[in-house]
Copies of this chain bind each other. A is one copy, B any other.
Amino acid sequence: MLRAIHYVARSACVQMSLGGGTRTLSQSVWKCQASQVPSTLWKLGRLNHVAIATPNLEASTALYRDVMGAQVSQPEDLPEHGVTTVFVTLDNTKLELLYPLGNNSPIQNFLDKNKSGGLHHVCIEVDNIQAAMEEVKAHKVRCLSKEPRIGAHGKPVVFLHPKDCAGVLVELEEA
């Protein structure tokens, strides 16, 4: 029963937004107070990682390891994801250095536009990715795949459209 009430509260919020003729997040959503009722369907968790695309994996690894004194992993090739990754361990989360692997790397386009590299995406954990996808889609936030995919860490992930997230590529990962 509690679940039903919370779900109705969130749905009402969506209807307010749609009823106001908004096509994207807007003032009407901003004023919606429904989120003050905590959702029991899914919960946002910790920041899993910040991904940094780099044109020089060795130099970027050296920066965090030799200059900053952080612990870094060995480079790992992930051919199915088109990247080589190095993880930089911080006290509360990690940085994920991404370097293109193969001819169709999903980060090559980003590096073509950002020659020095740069911040590529943030990954936030959720406890129920299906419920999270339904909710963001109901709020007109586009998902970049119809279903969750298995991400680089072997867990279900979905990416949200940057234009619906303040220009930021947001990855949700079921922890």
Contacts and interface: CB of A to CB of B under 8 A. Distances in A.
Interface of A: 13, 24-27, 29-30, 32, 34-35, 38-39, 42-47, 50, 52-54, 56, 58-63, 65-70, 90-93, 95, 97, 114-122, 124-125, 135-136, 139, 141, 162-168
Contacts of A168: 52, 117-119
In the A-B complex, the 6 residue pairs with the closest CB atoms: A117-B167, A116-B167, A119-B119, A118-B167, A46-B91, A60-B166
Total copies of the chain = 2
Contacts of A162: 116, 118
A166 B116 contact: yes
A30 B62 contact: yes
